[in-house]
Amino acid sequence: MNILLQAAPSGGMGGMSSTILMMVAIFAVFYFFMIRPQQKKQKDLQKSREAMKSGDKVVTAGGMHGRIKEVGDTWFLVEVADGVRIKIEKSSVYASSADVTPN
Please, what's the b/e burial string for 10-25 (b: 16 or more CB within 10 A of its CB; e: otherwise)? eeeeeeeeeeeeeeee
CATH code at position 88: 2.30.30
User: Which pLDDT value is given to residue 15?
Assistant: 80
Residues 41, 61, single domain; the answer is no
List pLDDT tens digits, range 21-35.
999 999 999 999 999
pLDDT at 97: 58
Q: Are 57 and 93 in the same domain? A: yes
Q: What total number of domains does the chain contain?
A: 2
Same domain, 57 and 44: no
DSSP 27-86: HHHHIIIIIHHHHHHHHHHHHHHHH--TT-EEEETT--EEEEEEE-SSEEEEEEETTEEE
Report yes or no on 6 lying in a domain: no
Task: State residue 16's pLDDT score.
Answer: 87
The end-to-end CA distance of the chain, in Å, is 81
Residues in the chain where the model's pLDDT stays below 70: 1-14, 96-103
Q: Which residue segment(s) compose the domain that 102 sits in?
A: 53-103
